């Protein structure tokens, strides 16, 4: 006797493209992005919402994609680091450019999550000073401890 795994249909707009998939309801949004759509920019660090490396934008707002199931987001818009600059062959997004210019990473594993969080932070208007940037980036850990340059890069992207 075989048991048919449960699968639910969900439609997501991923980096501007409408995509329809059938997934087991246990699949997190993070796993759907990585395994169903091949978008490996969002990283699976802790998988418990504690490190921020899976950060993506959901309807324009930053979330930890590991702590939510894909089936819960039918009809919604997801932006990953791959969708940030628009044309993959074109210019980097200004926050990506700032991270490169200010050497805001070492190993790079946390970087897509850091950049997505920073893009949201700038949109929210939380780059007033370095302390504010640090507080509003507190959901993103960097085990290489590139924090000083991350703050500098975000401040530069904010025009300071």
Partner 1 sequence: MRPFTYTRPDEPAHAWAELGPDAMYIAGGTNLVDLMKCGVAGPARLVDIGGLPLGGIGSDGDTLRIGALVRNSDLAAHPVVSERLPVLAQALLAGASPQLRNLATLGGNLMQRTRCGYFRDPSMPCNKRLPESGCAALDGDHRGHAVLGTSERCIATHPSDLAVALLALGARVRIDGPGGPRVEPIDAFHLPPGDTPERETTLAHGELITGVEVPLTALGARSHYLKVRERASFAFAMCSVAVALDVREGTVRDARIVLGGVATTPWRAGAAETALIGAPPGTAAFARAGEAATEGARPLRDNGYKVELIRRVVARALTTLTTVEGDRG
The binding site for partner 1 (CB under 8 A) comprises 5-6, 8, 24-26, 28, 47-49, 52, 55, 58, 61-64, 66-69, 71-72, 117, 120-121, 124, 134-136, 138-140
Question: At its nearest, how many Å lie between partner 1 and the CB of residue 107?
Answer: 21
Alpha-helical segments (H) within the chain: 29-31, 94-101, 111-124, 130-136, 147-157
Indicate the residue among 64 and 111 with the shorter CB distance to partner 1. Answer: 64
Q: What Rg, from alpha-carbon coordinates, does the chain have?
A: 16
Question: In the bound complex, what is the minimum distance in angstroms from residue 28's beta carbon to partner 1?
Answer: 7
- Give the nearest distance from C-beta 91 to partner 1 in angstroms: 26
- For the CB of residue 19, give the shortest distance to partner 1 in the complex, in Å: 19
**What length does the chain have?**
160
CB 30 within 8 A of CB 54: yes
Whether the Cβ atoms of residue 34 and residue 40 lie closer than 8 Å to each other: yes
Measured from the CB atom, the residue of 24 and 101 that comes closer to partner 1 is: 24
d(Cα 15, Cα 5) in Å, to the nearest integer? Answer: 28
Give the nearer residue to partner 1 in terms of CB position, either 1 or 48: 48
Min separation Cβ 116 and partner 1, Å: 9
Nearest to 102 by CA among 133, 80, 78: 133
CB-nearer residue toward partner 1: 62 or 93: 62
- CA–CA dist 130, 35 (Å, integer): 36
Q: Which is nearer to partner 1, 73 or 102 (CB)?
A: 73
């Amino acid at each position: 006797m075989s048991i048919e795994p449960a699968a639910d249909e969900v439609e997501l707009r991923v980096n501007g493209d409408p995509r329809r998939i059938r997934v087991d309801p246990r699949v997190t949004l993070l796993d759907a992005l990585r395994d169903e759509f091949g978008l490996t920019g969002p990283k699976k660090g802790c998988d418990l919402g504690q490190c921020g490396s899976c950060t993506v934008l959901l309807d324009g707002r930053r979330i930890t994609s590991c702590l939510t199931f894909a089936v819960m987001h039918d009809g919604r818009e997801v932006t990953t680091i791959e969708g940030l600059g628009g044309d993959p062959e074109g210019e980097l997004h200004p926050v990506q450019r700032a991270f490169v210019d200010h050497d805001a990473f070492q190993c790079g594993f946390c970087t897509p999550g850091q950049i997505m969080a920073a893009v949201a932070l700038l949109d929210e208007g939380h780059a007033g000073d370095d302390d504010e940037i640090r507080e509003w980036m507190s959901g993103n850990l960097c085990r290489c401890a590139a924090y000083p340059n991350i703050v500098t890069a975000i401040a530069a992207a904010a025009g300071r």
